[in-house]
Amino acid sequence: MDRFNLAVIGATGAVGEIFLSILEERNFPLNKLRLCASERSLGKKIKFANEDHYIEPVTNELLSDCDFVFISASSEVSLDIAPRAAKLGSIAIDDSSAFRMNKTVPLVVPEVNSKDLDQHKGIVSIPNCSTTPLTMVLHELGKLAKINRVIVDTFQSVSGAGAGAVFELDSQNHAMYENSEIQTSIHPHRIAFNVIPQIDDFTESGYTNEEMKMINETKKILHRPDLNISATCVRVPVKIGHSEAVHIEFEQNIDIESAYSALSNAPGITLLDDTEKNHYPMPINCEHKDDVMVGRLRKDVSLPNGIVLWLSCDNLRKGAALNAIQIAESIIEKRLI
Amino acid sequence: MDRFNLAVIGATGAVGEIFLSILEERNFPLNKLRLCASERSLGKKIKFANEDHYIEPVTNELLSDCDFVFISASSEVSLDIAPRAAKLGSIAIDDSSAFRMNKTVPLVVPEVNSKDLDQHKGIVSIPNCSTTPLTMVLHELGKLAKINRVIVDTFQSVSGAGAGAVFELDSQNHAMYENSEIQTSIHPHRIAFNVIPQIDDFTESGYTNEEMKMINETKKILHRPDLNISATCVRVPVKIGHSEAVHIEFEQNIDIESAYSALSNAPGITLLDDTEKNHYPMPINCEHKDDVMVGRLRKDVSLPNGIVLWLSCDNLRKGAALNAIQIAESIIEKRLI
């Protein structure tokens, strides 16, 4: 079996850390692993598979030495590194929004559109962490009947904004209990004991960038530019796990049993739906899990052709690191490298 | 000016406490105030307007002595006391769900349907704390064009489940920081660093009672039994302040300026909507405020006749105690007592 050289850019970040632990869990066919991060982490030691690895700078030697370069830093970093990596013959799998809507870059959730990898030109984007679980559910239910409209409201954890945002939530909680001054730097307002209906900047339409990402990325991944979809994205004081209330309108009537059956057979989806036992997805039961958890499936009382559901997903795993690794696995399996 | 005798049943609860502070703030035309609570609080002393009041049992003497009896305890307590109060000639203003859907009982948000008070028969219900702000917004926007469909997802604070739930959230936070065992009694699962997509029990339709309350109460208050409305109600780790993402579909196109203008002139509503300054409603800016805060108003990108907005409201004030006091004030003003 072939083995591959892989670099992780952003190895010390929230997603980078999870990326490394999933690589090990899944026994990724690794030859050489090289780790990079921002300048202040250079030389830092990280243990992987019982071996020490040192954070090194991103050089052209490193990029050309690697088969895959996973990037989870900022859009600026991605804009610099991904094209260089592609030019030097490696495949960049990019967690930023920089290339997602670029027509020559596949935006992939392997369970949904791995076929789009066939056209890759050295850069593959992974979707926003709130987009991925939504597309998986819509893809499965869309096999039952055409979906005309989707309304989704999100409950997104702070780790979606990076490790610093988790630290900020803890610090604010402590400050509140100690009656000391509350510092705010990452979120636009205090997040402790609060919810913030803003993730990323606002666009002219009144939607935020995060909302427009969910809307546009979902259309691209599902190959449904005509899909009517609206979103409100909200930050909640949860550390890991994004949840979504999803309202789906189909072209025709879907019985709830068919929806159950479609979702229970879907790869990467676990149904957690037993209202008698109060079982449904929540951040606390999706954390550290690979699957998207779906529950509270019901006929929409306001619409004959509507279905309502609720999902939770570990935003660092399927929302980011796991999806990236699955893309690499899919590229290997399809012999596209 | 006439002055009135008033009893508060549930005076030591989360809503009861706020009720007393609002009574004082608004200079309610009070003659005599009598306070009741559960047996274990009997004899307890509460200061109101610089005078000591003692918790006493609910007797027929007390009920017939009072003009208004405000009840915020459990549905069982309301089912017992409200009809007795009405029979003994006082007006029960009830915070429970026990009588809300009863055809002979007005369910009132004074800014929306104070006219329904004209038919009262001694019991008036106040809506569920998540229903009230929604109806205020729909009532104002419904003057611009007929509303065909509403989808609402809520972010409800723990104080909606009473003072014990606030204590539980704090206890769970402390236990998590101290690595000690987490106790869960009021919510069905841990609420600290979590969101729970269940408030109240499940109904056969798969919706919870809380969701069906929002749906049915909204139709009753707006006199719109035909309104298509769906909801997902979610508990979030916030102490005070319910928020809602609201998606409204009108019969015809509404320009966003008309919506702004309608809401900015509406009684009980404050527009907080400046995306350039990141100003929008949140629990931390609606706490202790009387008004429903509305923001993030935008055209729905998925629908030509759609508007999306976000609201936050102090669930103990306009969501409960304030609305009850406004009902009493309205009854006095209309000389219905």
| pLDDT tens per residue across span B226-236 | 999 999 999 99
> Per DSSP, what are the bridge partners of residue B156?
B235
Q: What is the dihedral of CA B280, A187, B165, B68, to 10 degrees?
A: -20
Cβ atoms of B133 and B221 within 8 Å: the answer is no
Cβ atoms of B227 and B150 within 8 Å: the answer is yes
Closest CA to B259 of B268, B153, B250: B250
* Radius of gyration, alpha carbons of chain A: 20
Q: Which of B235, B239, B302 to mutate to test the interface with A (most CBs of A within 10 A)?
A: B302
Model's pTM, two decimal places? 0.97
**In this prediction, what percent of chain A has a pLDDT beyond 70?**
100
Kindly report, residue by residue over A208-244, the tens digit of the pLDDT. Answer: 999 999 999 999 999 999 999 999 999 999 999 999 9
> Which residue shows structure tokens 């408030």?
B199
Q: Which residues of A touch B287 (CB under 8 A)?
A: none
Count of positions (residues) in chain A: 337
Kindly report, residue by residue over A43-72, the tens digit of the pLDDT. Answer: 999 999 999 999 999 999 999 999 999 999
The packing angle between helices B14-25 and B163-177, to 10°, is 120
Cα–Cα distance for residue pair B104/B96, rounded to 1 Å? 16
Q: Which residues of B touch A308 (CB under 8 A)?
A: 230, 232
Closest CA to B237 of A172, A186, A293: A172
User: How far apart are the CA of B236 and the nearest CA of chain A, in angstroms?
Assistant: 7
**Which pLDDT value is given to residue B213?**
98
**Which pLDDT value is given to residue B72?**
95
Closest CA to B46 of B57, B59, B58, B33: B33
Cα–Cα distance for residue pair B229/B222, rounded to 1 Å? 12
Cβ atoms of B243 and B311 within 8 Å: the answer is yes
> Per DSSP, what are the bridge partners of residue B113?
none
Burial B104-113 (b: 16+ CB within 10 A, else e): ebbbbbbbbb
Cβ atoms of A306 and A247 within 8 Å: the answer is yes
**Which pLDDT value is given to residue B1?**
73
**Banded pLDDT at A335 (limits 50, 70, 90):** very high
Averaged pLDDT, B307-325: 98
Q: Which residues of B touch A298 (CB under 8 A)?
A: 205-207
Cα–Cα distance for residue pair B269/B292, rounded to 1 Å? 5
Kindly report, residue by residue over B100-127, the tens digit of the pLDDT. Answer: 999 999 999 999 999 999 999 999 999 9
Name the A residues in 168-197 with CB < 8 Å from any B CB. 173-174, 177, 188-190, 193-197
Which are the catalytic amino acids of B? 129, 242
Cα–Cα distance for residue pair B226/A124, rounded to 1 Å? 48
Whole-number Cα distances in Å, B173 to A179, A287, B155, B182: 15, 18, 19, 9
Cβ atoms of B165 and B157 within 8 Å: the answer is no
User: How far apart are the CA of B187 and the nearest CA of chain A, in angstroms?
Assistant: 11
Check whether A1 has a pLDDT greater than 80. Answer: no
Cβ atoms of A152 and A238 within 8 Å: the answer is no
Contact state of B173 with A174 under an 8 Å Cβ cutoff: no
Burial B14-53 (b: 16+ CB within 10 A, else e): bbbbbbbebbeeeebebeebbbbbeeebeeeebebeeeeb
* B207 interfaces chain A, CB cutoff of 8 Å: yes
**Which pLDDT value is given to residue A54?**
97
Contact state of B302 with A149 under an 8 Å Cβ cutoff: yes
Helix (H) or strand (E) holding B297: strand B292-299
Q: Which domains does chain B have, with CATH numbers?
A: 4-127+320-333 (3.40.50.720), 131-157+195-315 (3.30.360.10)
Residue A313 among the catalytic residues = no
Select from A206, A247, A278 the Cβ nearest to the Cβ of B188.
A278
Averaged pLDDT, A265-294: 97
Cα–Cα distance for residue pair B107/B124, rounded to 1 Å? 6
